[in-house]
């Protein structure tokens, strides 16, 4: 496994790489969700590259960048265990040298609502760094988790609008044994809150069960998930969106196999995101 710490070293290393390249961008604090993206990339490409970079541009003024978990040694060990070919550990000064003042801004509803509304500037930061990383790595395929549903939709828009020659793959959410979606934020949950957090997936699964039993009223489905979580969580939103075009779903019948229920529920100050396809084919 080759490790690079500058863009120049990375470019040199990648120039020697042969065949198709799969790319998994991360901010480190790797868990099995990230590793499943790496495995998928390995199945579909000749070589795999992973980036580890805690991107300051995607943190808002009220979000604590310094608290983001940094676990480089453990991350590199995990990637070594999977025999990843190339790992880029980015440095702020190298990726954003003095004078850097460019941003990739995707306009439209996809960046304005839900996470975009609650975290102003977040998607500008994500798009700017991912565009930069795509230029650097020039991958054939890039892998992201459905866990960050809106991020997938935003990046798909960027790839399409700017014509990046990369296939973007969205991969299934990896879950703990009790259903909690894997996330670097889970480590911030206290013991009791960690136990309760499993109820998020239970509530989403219950909504999917109701759909299977014929419930098609989207507003009622969202209301019942909110009710289930209300006592223990501060629910920020529950919505159903089309996983292809991010359109708001009013009727499940018009979005066969594509209606995802997404939510954010906060407990003990930790914002937990999750989503589930309500009407899988």
Binding piece for ligand PAF, criterion CB under 6 A, among 21-29, 72-80, 170-178, 249-257: 21-29
DSSP assignment of 148-171 equals: GHHHHHHHHHHHHHHT-S-EEEEE
Residue 55 is a binding residue for ligand PAF (CB under 6 A) = yes
Task: Name the segment binding ligand PAF (CB under 6 A); options: 22-30, 156-164, 189-197, 229-237.
Answer: 22-30
Q: Which tokens in the block code for residue 45?
A: 């490409």
Beta-carbon contacts of 88 under 8 Å, excluding residues fewer than 6 positions away, are: 3, 4, 5, 10, 49, 50, 51, 52, 53, 136, 137
For residue 139, state whether it binds ligand PAF (rule: CB under 6 A). no
Phi, psi of 228 (to 5 degrees): -60, -35
CA dist., res. 59 & res. 45, Å (int): 32
Angle between helices 7-15 and 122-137 (to 10 degrees): 40
Annotated active-site residue 34? The verdict is yes
- Which residue lies nearer to ligand PAF by CB, 145 or 197? 145
Binding mask 110-129 for ligand PAF (x = CB under 6 A): ----------------x--x
Can residue 136 be called a binding residue for ligand PAF (CB under 6 A)?
no
Closest CA to 35 of 274, 44, 26: 26
Total of residues contacting ligand PAF (CB under 6 A): 10
Which residues in the 144-173 window bind ligand PAF by CB under 6 A? 148, 151
Structure tokens at 42: 């390995």
d(CA 151, CA 157): 10
Q: Which is nearer to ligand PAF, 55 or 279 (CB)?
A: 55
Near ligand PAF by CB under 6 A: residue from 10, 14, 22, 25: 25
Which entry of 31, 34, 86, 201 is annotated as an active-site residue?
34
Q: Catalytic positions, please?
A: 34
Q: Which residues bind ligand PAF (CB under 6 A)?
A: 25-27, 55, 58, 126, 129-130, 148, 151
């Amino acid at each position: 496994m080759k490790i690079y710490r500058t863009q120049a070293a990375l470019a040199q290393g990648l120039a020697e790489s042969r065949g198709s390249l799969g790319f998994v961008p991360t901010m480190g604090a790797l868990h099995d969700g990230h590793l499943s993206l790496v495995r998928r990339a390995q199945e579909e490409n000749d070589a795999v590259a992973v980036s580890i970079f805690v991107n300051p541009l995607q943190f808002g003024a009220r979000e604590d960048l310094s608290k983001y978990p940094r676990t480089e040694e453990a991350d590199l060990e995990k990637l070594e265990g999977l025999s990843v070919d190339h790992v880029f550990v980015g440095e702020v000064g190298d990726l954003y040298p003095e004078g850097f003042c460019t941003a990739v801004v995707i306009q439209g509803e996809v960046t304005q609502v839900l996470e975009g509304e609650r975290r102003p500037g977040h998607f500008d930061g994500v798009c700017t760094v991912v565009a930069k990383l795509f230029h650097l790595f020039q991958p054939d395929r890039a892998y992201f988790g459905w866990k960050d549903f809106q991020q997938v939709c935003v990046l798909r828009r960027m790839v399409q609008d700017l014509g990046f020659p990369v296939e973007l793959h969205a991969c299934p959410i990896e879950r703990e044994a009790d259903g909690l979606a894997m996330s670097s934020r889970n480590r911030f949950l206290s013991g009791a809150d960690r136990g309760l957090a499993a109820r998020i997936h239970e509530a989403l699964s219950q909504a999917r069960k109701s759909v299977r039993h014929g419930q098609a009223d989207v507003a009622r489905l969202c209301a019942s998930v909110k009710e289930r979580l209300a006592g223990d969580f501060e629910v920020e939103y529950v919505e159903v969106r089309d996983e292809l075009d991010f359109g708001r779903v009013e009727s499940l019948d018009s979005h066969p196999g594509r209606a995802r229920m997404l939510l954010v529920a906060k407990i003990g100050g930790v914002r937990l995101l999750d989503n589930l396809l309500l009407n899988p084919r």
